[in-house]
Amino acid sequence: MTPSIKSFLPPTIVETQNGRWAVAGNQWLPIPKNVTLDMLREAWKKPKPAPRPVSKNGMWKVLGSKGESYTVTSEAGQWSCSCVGFGFRRKCKHIDSIKNQ
């Protein structure tokens, strides 16, 4: 049976002393000897990238690493964020993530 593989990286086959594995990204899935690389490639499902945040009048809602929601704003070239880190350092990863998209 060919496992379903979800990864941005294409799968490959690795043979070790402990068995045969389908490897894609950080996934190591045991596979039987009859599974070929072509079969793995057919079972590979490349996930869709996360949607980019859409600006609404220079404002973005950004999800923080612990599930919080922050508001990033850009007005006349000045960036700000509602997170605590921005209040202390005047920069944060939420602004960087918007700028890098």
75 vs 52 pLDDT, higher one? 75
**Residue ranges of the domains in the chain?**
5-45, 59-99
Flag whether pLDDT at 51 surpasses 80: no
Over the stretch 30-43, which tens digit does the pLDDT of each residue have? 999 999 999 999 98
Strands 44-45 and 5-6: parallel
Dihedral over alpha carbons 3, 8, 12, 15 (to 10 degrees): -70
Mean pLDDT on 67-77? 88
Mean pLDDT on 46-55? 70
Mean pLDDT on 6-29? 91
What is the H or E stretch that residue 65 is in?
Answer: none
pLDDT band for position 50 (50/70/90)?
A: low
